[in-house]
Structure 1
């Protein structure tokens, strides 16, 4: 099963469930759940109010929308986000998908509630034959696995 879900504490804010824009689109558009101002050279986490359920052998790769840099002067500060399957329902933030944007302009940039800020693409990944993982429990995101 693969689906986006609204995080309980954000239900009243009516997050937008991601959809593909066209039949040929690979990415699901992710939108801001609130108005946000990003100051020059500032990095800000933009909340979506969403989490994602997917099979254990998949990850959601989050890429910036092409219009962000060209039209708005915004970039994702980590270039590409990787949402692992075990991020879903973690104890820290319920698996909240947040998009880190940096403002490359010399003036503030306003993100509007409902504005599409990134796109998520589901990808299956492979493991090596001698793969071993550390038995740690994911607590959240952005470095929460301890490395």
Structure 2
């Protein structure tokens, strides 16, 4: 019986992706790699390459695809975290602090449950993430429910960011 693990989404089958794995025997997190080359523009471009007559759009994170989906038990989630070296060596942060992948995200109709890492580049130059570069970690965790919970009848209808619709 399968309880938790990773699979490659069909869009990336046969493209040489590796499933996430732990770097050492005692590592908590599974290292995720980028599924394709992605450019992360420097946030400073927003300020210094800006046309004075155009409105500033703001700083927008880039979604870096992994080509990976995760299955897990109903009372678990996958916590997406930054690699400890990303801010110091590569000037990359997760603007949302951590990402949460719910069990019902797996196999959703919009994107099959593909996991993405939101990243911001606060370095002075654009950063190119190459296919296969380690971009973040995932840790499987159990969660608890409160007594007398009013159980929602809603079910996931889409992919990334879809559970915020009311």
Fold conserved between structures, TM > 0.5: yes
Matched, 1:35 2:37: yes
Q: Hey, what does 1:14 align to over in structure 2?
A: 16
Q: 1:138 aligns with which of 156, 162, 165?
A: 156
Bigger Rg over Cα: 2
Which of 108, 111, 116 pairs up with 2:134? Answer: 116
Q: How many residues align?
A: 147
- How far did residue 79 of structure 1 move? 1.0
State the Cα RMSD in Å: 1.2
Q: Which moved more, 1:110-119 or 1:6-15?
A: 6-15
Structure 1: state its 5+ residue gaps. Answer: none
Q: Following superposition, which runs of at least 4 residues in structure 1 exceed 3 angstroms of deviation?
A: none
State the partner residue of 1:87.
105
More strand by share: 1
1:32-111 to structure 2, matched below 5 A, reads 32-41=34-43, 42-111=60-129
1:134 to partner: Cα distance: 2.0
User: Which residue does 2:52 correspond to in 1?
Assistant: none
TM-score for both structures, normalised by structure 2:
0.85
Q: Quick one: distance in 2 between partners of 1:83 and 1:90?
A: 12
Instruction: Sort the Cα spacing of 1:51 and 1:36 in 2 relative to 1 into closer, same or farther, 3 A.
Output: same
CA-to-aligned-CA distance 1:19-40 (integer Å, 9 cap, x gap): 1011110000010011111111
